[in-house]
C-alpha cells in the first residue's frame, strides 16, 4: 500500500479577488505563506516523505515552505500543473456570468473548456499518469504532491472510480490535505480537504 497526500497550494491575492490564474505565475500572499507554514508544522511527523510540486509559482512556493519540516527537497512535476484556462487567464470569473462556457463548468465539467484552455478530462489524463508514475517508483515513505484544487479532484475521481461531475462539487481549501491509500488496483480515501491533527499518519 502506498500513502498519497495531495496538498493544495496556499492562498494568493488572485484567489481573493476572483481573478482567473490558470497557468499564470501568481505568488502566495501573506496569508498563503502562513497557511503553508502551519501545514509544514503538522506534516513534520512524516517519515521519509517524497515531495513533488506543480511548476506553478504558488505551488512551488508552498512546497518550498514544507521542505525544512519534511527534511527533504522538492521535485517539480509538470503534469500536475493547474488547468489551463486559455484566453480567460488574467480576467475575472464574474465577467463570464451567463456565458455558455461558464455554465458548462457546472453542467458538464468533464468537457467544459475555456477558449484555448483544457478540459477537466484532459487534466485528469495527465495528472493521473504523473501520479501513477511517481507511485510506481515504490519509494519508502509517503508521496506528497503540492498541486491545485481541480487537479486534486481529478486524481480523487480516478482512484475512487467516480465521475468528474461528482467530484467537481468537492471543497478543496488552500493548504489542505487530501490523503489516499493506494493499492495495485484501487484507492481508499483517508481524508478530504483536511487540516487535522495528522498524528494518525505515523
Q: How many structural domains compose the chain?
A: 1
We report the CATH number of the domain holding residue 161 as 3.40.50.1240
Question: pLDDT 10s per residue in the chain (202 long)?
Answer: 899 999 999 999 999 999 999 999 999 999 999 999 999 999 999 999 999 999 999 999 999 999 999 999 999 999 999 999 999 999 999 998 888 878 887 788 889 999 999 999 999 999 999 999 999 998 899 999 999 999 999 999 999 999 998 888 899 999 999 999 999 768 999 999 997 566 656 6
Give the residue among 158, 156, 185 at the shortest CA–CA distance from 172: 156
Pairing of strands 2-8, 177-182: antiparallel
Coil, helix or strand for 201?
Answer: helix
Q: How many CA atoms lie within 13 A of 163 on its CB side?
A: 7
What is the model's pTM? 0.95
Give the residue among 38, 31, 85 at the shortest CA–CA distance from 58: 31
For cell 478540459, the residue is 119
**Which range of residues forms the domain containing residue 160?**
2-201
Return the HEC string of 89-131: CCCEHHHHCCCHHHHHHHHCCCCCCCCCCCCHHHHHHHHHHHH
Amino acid at each position: 500500500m502506498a500513502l498519497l497526500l495531495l496538498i493544495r497550494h496556499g492562498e494568493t491575492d488572485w484567489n481573493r479577488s476572483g481573478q482567473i490564474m490558470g497557468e499564470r505565475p501568481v505568488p502566495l500572499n501573506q496569508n498563503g505563506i502562513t497557511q503553508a507554514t502551519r501545514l509544514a508544522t503538522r506534516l513534520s511527523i512524516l517519515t521519509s516523505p517524497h515531495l513533488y510540486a506543480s511548476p506553478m509559482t504558488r505551488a512551488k512556493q508552498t512546497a518550498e515552505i514544507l521542505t525544512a519540516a519534511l527534511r527533504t527537497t522538492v521535485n517539480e512535476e509538470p503534469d500536475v500543473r493547474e488547468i489551463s484556462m486559455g484566453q480567460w487567464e488574467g480576467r475575472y470569473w464574474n465577467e463570464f456570468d451567463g456565458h455558455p462556457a461558464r455554465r458548462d463548468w457546472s453542467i458538464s465539467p468533464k468537457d467544459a473548456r475555456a477558449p484555448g484552455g483544457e478540459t477537466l478530462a484532459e487534466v485528469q489524463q495527465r495528472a493521473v499518469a504523473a501520479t501513477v508514475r511517481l507511485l510506481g517508483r515504490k519509494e519508502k515513505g509517503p508521496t506528497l504532491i503540492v498541486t491545485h484544487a481541480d487537479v486534486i479532484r481529478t486524481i480523487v475521481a480516478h482512484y475512487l472510480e467516480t465521475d468528474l461531475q461528482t467530484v467537481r462539487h468537492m471543497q478543496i481549501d488552500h493548504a489542505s490535505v487530501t490523503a489516499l491509500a493506494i493499492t495495485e488496483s484501487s484507492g481508499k480515501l483517508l481524508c478530504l480537504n483536511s487540516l487535522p491533527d495528522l498524528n494518525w499518519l505515523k
